[in-house]
Structure formats: structure tokens, C-alpha cells
Amino acid sequence: MKKVSQLICSLALGSLMALPSVAQPLEQPNSPDYNPKATYDGPYKMNTWSIAIHGGPSMFFGDLREYDFWPVNKNSDDSRKESGSFQGGITINKQLSYWFGARLDGSIGSLKGMKRRNYNRYFKGDYQDVSLSGTINLKGLLMGPNKMKRWKVDAYAGFGQIFYDSKAYDLSGTRPLVRETGKKNDWIIPTGLNVNYELTSRLDLGLDFRLNYTNSDYLDATWGGDYDRNADLNSIKDAKTSRRGNSELDSYGYGSIVLTYKLGKKPLKVKKEDGKWAYKPEDGYYHLRYTDPKVLLKPVKILTLEEMDSVAKANRPKDIDPRLLLDTDGDGVSDFFDKEPNSPAGSIVDGSGRVLDFDTYVKNALATGAACSEIFANVQFDTDKNVLKPEFQEMLKNVAMLMNKNGCRLQLAGHADRRATDRYNMALSRRRVDAVKNYLVNEAGLKDPSKVIVDYFGSFKPIAESSTRDGLLKNRRVELKLLP
């Protein structure tokens, strides 16, 4: 029995030490009740506290004990009844995870015992004890969360203190003997097994079997192995803690009926539906004593092709306004943004599609000193040529003057029609851009060439149909975009 108790103690204490590495919350907050600071796994909050009262017979194990398990019931002149001692108390439970928990116990009770052989004595004593223990869920470990669902079986071990006051008497009564411990205290190591059944969402009924190992050999007011009835009683009575004779240390235990009240708001008790346990965490809070948080996770649903098609249709974005793709008047501004969607062919427009005279705008800006605004123009070229036409030279000189005066920037983009290979058209559009930039710098007097931004696109960005002569002419161009 001692080895079994030591094993239970080692398991429980080791479990408590392992808690920080085991109890890590999942990173799946799929509930409004998600608790990121919880020590247990799972996305839902759960009730974790409970309080219990217990009571039942107590039993002493030590020097003044006739038998290990069966108490002496005979009550005559030379024998004393060992049964009839009781204890009761209160327990506060905190479930840290589904597997592990902690409990704080406080008890008061009495102890009795006798020994005819060698000692010829009996004793009576009262005690109070308090202890803190770690618990391990044996039912969950051995059977999982859904077998014996209403049952909870815990092993526990911990440490605490006992405060006691005992007296030993002569058994035969022929010679008076009174030995007193006085009020003393010592360390205890409680070990035990707790079995509970879930009656309701609030109440559990169970049994608790406990054995407390003490650091004392004096609970029965008898120093172990001291058969001398004339021993120095004062030295025994005045002994300090950690008392030990030449026998084993004393211990005591009890068996109790336990009634537990589970604390927390909106308590739930899992029920069966169609032969299976049905969990509905959205209705309230299950208690961690009986519910593994992992079973509350919704299983991943594998959609059929019809369901996937339905989801895709429900989440399909709205169709693009067709006006975004149309430029009816060919001015480079889509109909969706165009304020003048019927501009004459070849018109120069602003960003909203309104017709502008680029050359007039530049001259007015030079005269008034106005700040630069975004405005567009096209310089057109003959077929397979990159020679600047005379009709565009005056406009470019004005652009250079405006850039020198107001610090404007200029973006150039070269284009070609489609009547050649892509490689050839890219090179041709680049030569056209270079021709415009060179004229600005070398002929028009632009002082800062770095303010000219160049790009070229070959025939990849037409602005008109290439099936007509007029359309081909519009596509052979260098676009000018004046920028602030």
C-alpha cells in the first residue's frame, strides 16, 4: 500500500510540473467566447471552479493500532473500540486542463486506536489539517473523453499541515497512564483517489479515499517502540516537530461521501442525441471536469461539388461595369470616367475626358505662371518614321519653356502601329520617344533632362482600330503627359 501511494504521489506531482508545457491554447479563436489566457486547449470558455463538502469515518495507522484495516469493535474492561472516529471538511477545486487540476482541502476530525501487545494502551485525539494537492484525470487518460461520460476518477497527491492534540491511556486500568501530545503540528503528504458522478449541470456525488502520511511518530501520544511505561513523559510531550521513534511514522486516512457544487455561469451538461454526445457550446459553458475542450471543435466539413458551386456563386463578385472597358470616343479615358464621352476624334483631353487644347493650355500657363496640371497630348509620326513633324515643334518649345519656368515634369510614352514584328515596333517606339526628348533638350532648350520620364510599348497599346488608315495614324504616336 505504501508503494502504491508513493506512485500516485509521483504521478500527480510530475503532472503539475508538466502543466506549463502541456496546457497551451489552440490558435483557432472561432468563438466570441475565445479565451486566449486559458490554460486548457480549445477556442471556447469553460467553467473550471467547484466547491465540495465531504464527511465520513477516519482511521489511524501507527503504533497504537491493533489491525491494519479492521478496527477492534469489542468494548470491555480491557479493550477499547477503535471505530467511531469521524472527519469532515471542505474542498475547493480548480480544473487547470481536462487532464490536470488542483484542490485545496481543509478537514477536522478525530482519531482512535489501541494496542494490547507490548503497549497495552489506547488513545483518543482531535486534529485539523489543510493541504494543497495536484490531481490527474485517470478516467480521461485511460478511457478518453466520451466513455463513462458521467464519471470522473482522479488520483491526487500534495502537501499540507496537521494540527493535533492527543492523549494515551492505560488499557487495563490497573495502573494509571496518561500521555499527552499537547497542541502540535507537523507536515503531511496526502494521497488519494476521488470518484465522482455527474448528477446535474451543477451537482456531483462521489467518494473520496485518502491516506495522509505525516512527519510525526506522535499522533497517538506514543513514541514508537517505547514500551517502557515509566519513560520520560516530559521529553516526549515537549518534543519538537519531525518526531520519530524506532518504528514507522504515523499516518491516518478516511473514506468520505462528497457532494460537489460546480461554479460558473450558464452551466451545461452534455446530452446524447441519436446515440451520440451532442455538444452545444453556444448555449452556455461546459465544465472542464467532464468535458475535453477538443471535443467542442467543429469537424471540418467536406463539401460536395454542388455545395462548392453554390458557395462560389454566393461569393462571386459583382460584374465589372462594361463602361470601364469601353472608350467610345477614343480619347484614352474610359466611358465610366469620361465627362465628355463624344469628344471629336484626335481631341486632347484631361483626366476626366474633357476636351483641352494642349497648346493653348501651355501658352496660358506660360503667361499666367499657373502651376502645372495633368494634361495630355499626342505627337504623331509617319509610317516607319521617327522624324518629328514641323507642326509639333512649336508646341514642344512651349512645353520646354513651361518646364523651365514652373518645374513641371513630362512623361513620354512611345507607340507604333501593328504593321511589323513586336521586336521591330518596340525599337521604333523607343526611337520616337528619343526623338521627342532630344528635340526638347537640344532644340527647345530644356535645362533639366531628368524631368523627362520615358517609356515605350511598341504596338501593344493601340488607341484606335488598326484596320483603317486613320486608326493606324493615331497609333503611331508619342504620348505627352504633363505632370506637376
Show which of 254, 273, 296 is a domain's final residue: 296
Task: Report how far residue 285's alpha carbon sits from residue 190's, in angstroms, rounded to the nearest whole number.
Answer: 32
106 forms beta bridges with 90, 130
Q: What is the CATH number of the domain that holds 467?
A: 3.30.1330.60
Task: Report how far residue 108's alpha carbon sits from residue 87's, in angstroms, rounded to the nearest whole number.
Answer: 6
Full residue range of the structural domain in which residue 372 is found? 357-483
pLDDT at 414: 94
Task: Report how far residue 38's alpha carbon sits from residue 45's, in angstroms, rounded to the nearest whole number.
Answer: 8
Of 351, 329, 325, 324, the residue nearest 341 (C-alpha): 329
Show which of 266, 296, 326 is a domain's final residue: 296
Task: Report how far residue 334's alpha carbon sits from residue 416's, in angstroms, rounded to the nearest whole number.
Answer: 21
Residue 110 belongs to a domain: yes
Residue 174 belongs to a domain: yes
Residue 368 belongs to a domain: yes
What total number of domains does the chain contain?
A: 2
The tens-digit pLDDT sequence of the chain (484 residues) is 444 444 444 444 444 444 443 444 444 444 555 666 777 777 788 999 999 999 999 999 988 888 776 777 766 656 788 888 999 999 999 999 999 999 999 999 999 998 888 788 889 999 999 999 999 999 999 998 888 999 999 999 999 999 999 988 887 765 556 777 788 899 999 999 999 999 999 999 999 999 999 998 888 888 766 555 444 445 555 555 455 666 788 999 999 999 999 999 999 999 888 888 888 888 899 999 999 988 888 777 787 888 888 888 888 777 776 666 677 767 667 777 777 777 766 566 666 777 666 777 777 777 776 667 667 788 999 999 999 998 888 888 888 888 888 888 899 999 999 988 999 999 999 999 999 999 999 998 899 999 999 999 999 989 888 888 888 888 999 998 888 7
Q: DSSP code of 376?
A: E
Show which of 296, 314, 330 is a domain's final residue: 296
Query: Does 234 lie in the same domain as 361?
Result: no
Residue 114 belongs to a domain: yes
3-state secondary structure of 244: coil
The pairing of strands 267-268 and 285-286 is: parallel
Query: Does 185 lie in the same domain as 75?
Result: yes
pLDDT at 347: 62
Q: DSSP code of 387?
A: P
Residue type, 378: N
Task: Report how far residue 422's alpha carbon sits from residue 457's, in angstroms, rounded to the nearest whole number.
Answer: 9
Full-model pTM: 0.56
Query: Does 154 lie in the same domain as 77?
Result: yes
Which grid coordinates are listed for 159?
502537501
Burial of 147: CB neighbours in 10 Å, binned 0-12, 13-18, 19+: exposed
Task: Report how far residue 285's alpha carbon sits from residue 472's, in angstroms, rounded to the nearest whole number.
Answer: 75
Residue 386 belongs to a domain: yes
Query: Does 244 lie in the same domain as 377?
Result: no
H-run or E-run covering 142: helix 138-143
Of 249, 165, 240, the residue nearest 213 (C-alpha): 249
**Please, what's the largest Cα pairwise distance for the chain?**
144
Query: Does 369 lie in the same domain as 277?
Result: no
pLDDT at 348: 62
Of 195, 220, 192, the residue nearest 205 (C-alpha): 195
Query: Does 371 lie in the same domain as 287?
Result: no
158-171 as b/e: b if 16+ CB within 10 A: bebebebebbbbbb
54-90 as b/e: b if 16+ CB within 10 A: bbbebbbbbbbbbeeeebbeeeeeebbebeebebebe
Rounded to the nearest 10 degrees, the angle between the axes of helix 358-368 and helix 393-406 is 40
Query: Does 401 lie in the same domain as 269?
Result: no
Of 177, 176, 181, 153, the residue nearest 166 (C-alpha): 181
Q: What is the CATH number of the domain that holds 171?
A: 2.40.160.20
pLDDT at 4: 42
Query: Does 267 lie in the same domain as 373?
Result: no
Query: Does 386 lie in the same domain as 282?
Result: no
Residue 329 belongs to a domain: no
Residue 312 belongs to a domain: no
Residue 101 belongs to a domain: yes
- The sign one gets for the Cα dihedral 261, 267, 270, 271 is positive
Query: Does 70 lie in the same domain as 152?
Result: yes
Which residues touch 258 (CB under 8 Å, ≥6 apart)? Answer: 52, 53, 54, 91, 194, 196, 204, 205, 206, 207, 208
Which grid coordinates are listed for 203?
451537482
Of 167, 96, 86, 187, the residue nearest 135 (C-alpha): 96
Residue type, 193: L
Query: Does 265 lie in the same domain as 389?
Result: no
Query: Does 365 lie in the same domain as 218?
Result: no
